[in-house]
Amino acid sequence: MPISLLASFVATSILVDRNCLAPLDEAVGLWVERHITPYRTALMFAWTDLAATWFVLAVTTFTGVFLALTGWGYWTKRLAWTVAGCMLSIEIVKRVFQRGRPPAPHPLLELATYSFPSGHTASATALYSFLAIVICSFIPSRVWRVLVWTAAVCIIGGVAFSRVYLGAHYLSDVAGGLIMGLVWLSLAPQFVRKGARES
């Protein structure tokens, strides 16, 4: 699983670097511009804050402290690897590619940082998927597990769409962020187990 996800991210990165996805990015960007309304804009600003750096760090810290105090050391370490590893790697990759933000005549959100991959999407994928995994591991009801994962997917999808809607990212940026979040979600358990064997 981690290898296939890493391969997917590498493939996406190559396509982005060679500008192969530009027609799709531009088409989606134009479609979004035609559907901007004040109500949708307010909703997208609220939704994108669910993956803002300060919010992700706050939720991660609260969850980590809770897991540590309850004696779930495995989950605490897995959370640290998942979120911290994801956020750090995103910043490194951004500086490697140095892709500019989408040009927009009237941008809803102006940022001076690099565009690929989307840090909000990656963080949302890593954090909310992790929370869904933890919660579902203690819920016997299949119906409730489906509801938890549905909520997680909706949050992640909403964050990803909000980044494109607000003009902060191309579609390919959020695709890269989604894959990067999944990469760390799948790598973290292996790092935790390896650390346990070495200690």
Q: What is the 3-state secondary structure (H, E, C) of the chain?
A: CHHHHHHHHHHHHHHHHCCCCHHHHHHHHHHHHCCCCHHHHHHHHHHHHHHCHHHHHHHHHHHHHHHHHCCCHHHHHHHHHHHHHHHHHHHHHHHHHCCCCCCCCCCCCCCCCCCCCCHHHHHHHHHHHHHHHHHHCCCCCHHHHHHHHHHHHHHHHHHHHHHHHCCCCCHHHHHHHHHHHHHHHHHHHHHHHHHHHHC
pLDDT mean over 95-110: 81
Tokens 């016997």 belong to residue: 140
148 neighbors 132 (Cβ within 8 angstroms): yes
Cα separation values, 22 from 9, 73, 83, Å:
17, 44, 29
CB atoms within 10 A of CB 147: 13
Considering its fold, how many domains does the chain have in total?
1
Q: What confidence category does residue 103 fall into, taking pLDDT thresholds of 50, 70 and 90? A: confident
**pLDDT above 70 for 141:** yes
32, with CB counted inside 10 A (0-12, 13-18, 19+), is: buried
**pLDDT above 80 for 1:** no
Question: Pick from 182, 178, 198, 195: which is nearest to 76 by CA?
Answer: 195
What pTM was computed for the model? 0.93
Domain enclosing residue 89, as ranges: 2-198
Please tell me the predicted confidence (pLDDT) of residue 198: 57
Mean pLDDT is lowest, of 55-59, 107-111, 126-130, 153-157, for 107-111
**pLDDT above 80 for 2:** no
Non-local CB neighbours of 139 within 8 Å, separated by 6+ positions: 145, 148
% of the chain at pLDDT higher than 90: 79
